[in-house]
Chain A
Amino acid sequence: RKEVEQDPGPFNVPEGATVAFNCTYSNSASQSFFWYRQDCRKEPKLLMSVYSSGNEDGRFTAQLNRASQYISLLIRDSKLSDSATYLCVVSRSGGYQKVTFGIGTKLQVIP
């Protein structure tokens, strides 16, 4: 079983729609959780951290469910500029900062 699993998509949604991605992780010792965004042929960039209490940044909401070992990302009122691949990232310490990336979920927002 992969340490971090994501549905690769693609998710094709119309502008203005709400879309949600989930990501599951297998290691219960995982400590920190993030969503990264990667545009085509570009490097990944941090989108937002994910906290147990849930957190919101404008149209983006991230949540963590430790009991079920998954994190989610909700995007409201999708924009064309949201089209990208969203990477789920899980990290923990263990001699070094072990950072594991999911394969990413591709989102295509359609006019």
Chain B
Amino acid sequence: NAGVTQTPKFQVLKTGQSMTLQCAQDMNHNSMYWYRQDPGMGLRLIYYSASEGTTDKGEVPNGYNVSRLNKREFSLRLESAAPSQTSVYFCASLETGKLGEAFFGQGTRLTVV
């Protein structure tokens, strides 16, 4: 009964490096989301995927790309990390038809130096 699994939990990158955050859910949810959470800013949507094969920009997409590999997996890629991308990243999935009842991964604490 894993729910939403997110990896890695911690990561330190140098400016300009790239990395991919992985997310997988086993609840057969159609919708998946990537958020970042910064002090005083709350959770801000980076990208979302309403269904397998579709992705769209959220509120703060610049510097990120995503891939909905299949119904289970939704990855977030930083092509060239910047210090402004230092944040806590959360992946979430939603049960179809239940607006807002989101299930979250444990988060990735990313520091870009």
- Seen from chain A, the residues whose Cβ lies within 8 Å of a Cβ on chain B are 8, 31-34, 41-46, 49, 87, 89-93, 95-97, 99, 101-104
- The answer to whether A97 and B40 have CB atoms under 8 Å apart is no
Label chain A's interface by main secondary structure.
strand
> In the complex, how many residues of chain B place their beta carbon closer than 8 angstroms to a beta carbon of chain A?
23
Residues of A near B107 (CB, < 8 A) are: 41-43
- The answer to whether A99 and B94 have CB atoms under 8 Å apart is yes
A100 to chain B, nearest CB (A): 8
- The answer to whether B56 and A96 have CB atoms under 8 Å apart is yes
Say which residue of A45, A89, A96, A102 sits within 8 Å of B100 (CB atoms).
Answer: A89
- The answer to whether A43 and B104 have CB atoms under 8 Å apart is yes
Q: How far is the CA of A59 from the CA of B48 in the complex (A)?
A: 35
B96 to chain A, nearest CB (A): 8
Say which residue of A49, A93, A95 sits within 8 Å of B101 (CB atoms).
Answer: A49
Task: How many A-B residue pairs have C-beta atoms within 8 angstroms? Tell me.
Answer: 58
- The answer to whether B100 and A91 have CB atoms under 8 Å apart is yes
Label chain B's interface by main secondary structure.
strand
- Please indicate which of the listed interface residues A33, A42, A101, A102 has the most CB atoms of chain B within 10 Å of its own CB: A101
B65 at the interface (CB under 8 A from A): no
- The answer to whether B104 and A32 have CB atoms under 8 Å apart is no
Residues of B near A97 (CB, < 8 A) are: 31, 50, 94, 99-100
B61 to chain A, nearest CB (A): 14
8 Å CB contacts to A: which residues of B74-113? 90, 94, 98-107
8 Å CB contacts to A: which residues of B4-55? 31, 33, 35, 40-43, 45, 48, 50
A86 to chain B, nearest CB (A): 12
Q: How far is the CA of A87 from the CA of B9 in the complex (A)?
A: 22
Q: How far is the CA of A45 from the CA of B103 in the complex (A)?
A: 7
- The answer to whether A31 and B99 have CB atoms under 8 Å apart is yes
- The answer to whether B42 and A32 have CB atoms under 8 Å apart is no
Say which residue of B40, B94, B101 sits within 8 Å of A8 (CB atoms).
Answer: B40
- The answer to whether A103 and B99 have CB atoms under 8 Å apart is no
